[in-house]
Amino acid sequence: MALSPTRHEYRLTLSHLDAAQHLEETVVLARHPSETAEHLVLRMLAWCLLRRDGLAFGAGLSDGDASDLCIEAAGGGYTLWVECGTAELEKLRRVASQNAGAEVEVVFAGPRRRNELLEQLAEHRKSHKGLDRVRLRTIEPSLVAALARHEERRQKWTVTIVEGHLYVEVDGEPLDGAVETTPLLG
């Protein structure tokens, strides 16, 4: 019998100064049985960084072809596709070519996986069509690790994003870390 996902609830206060957003909302995530705490945190941080109307959590680990977060287009396809933790170049190429004009984001916890993706790009001589819309965000791994230690199924987060820096207070504990944003083709 397959294990079912675990519900995680975040009572979130988000002040994204770079995007002129402020909201208070309860965000619910389903944690896949094989999902690490770090990956769950990355999905939540990606939601905070990329927050806009229509943003939803995708099937992620439950379906290897699905996104971690996305915004579906009215006529089908996607206007935003987000991968968290790792990404395969061929999948990014496929998503970009099948969703003309869509933004494609990859959110990493530290530079290791980002560098692996950049090495894949350097090794492949195929067309880079559409990959100019792929943006990489690398969050300081110490912030992700510190947040992952809070594995309670209900948490209160206060998140402030300003000038590429995340300030997170989780259940009274202040944490912070930088976010580096770069295009895949740069």
How far, in whole angstroms, is CA 29 from its chain's centroid?
Answer: 13
Q: Which domains does the chain have, with CATH numbers?
A: 6-183 (3.10.640.10)
**Residue 38 one-letter amino acid:** E
Average pLDDT of the chain is 92
Average pLDDT over residues 29-43: 94
Question: What's the pLDDT at 99?
Answer: 93
Q: Which residue has the higher pLDDT, 5 or 27?
A: 27
Determine contact, residues 153/9, Cβ cutoff 8 Å.
yes
**Residue 51 one-letter amino acid:** R
Average pLDDT over residues 50-56: 95
Pick from 92, 25, 39: nearest CA to 68: 39
Question: What's the pLDDT at 60?
Answer: 63
Return the percentage of the chain with pLDDT > 70, whole number.
Answer: 94
User: How many Cβ atoms from other residues are within 10 Å of residue 88's Cβ?
Assistant: 13
pTM (two decimals): 0.94
Q: φ, ψ for residue 140 (rounded to 5)?
A: -55, 125
Measure Cα distances from 154 to 12, 27, 87 in Å: 11, 10, 29
Determine contact, residues 183/136, Cβ cutoff 8 Å.
yes
**In whole angstroms, what is the distance from residue 120 CA to residue 18 CA?**
31
Question: What's the pLDDT at 185?
Answer: 87
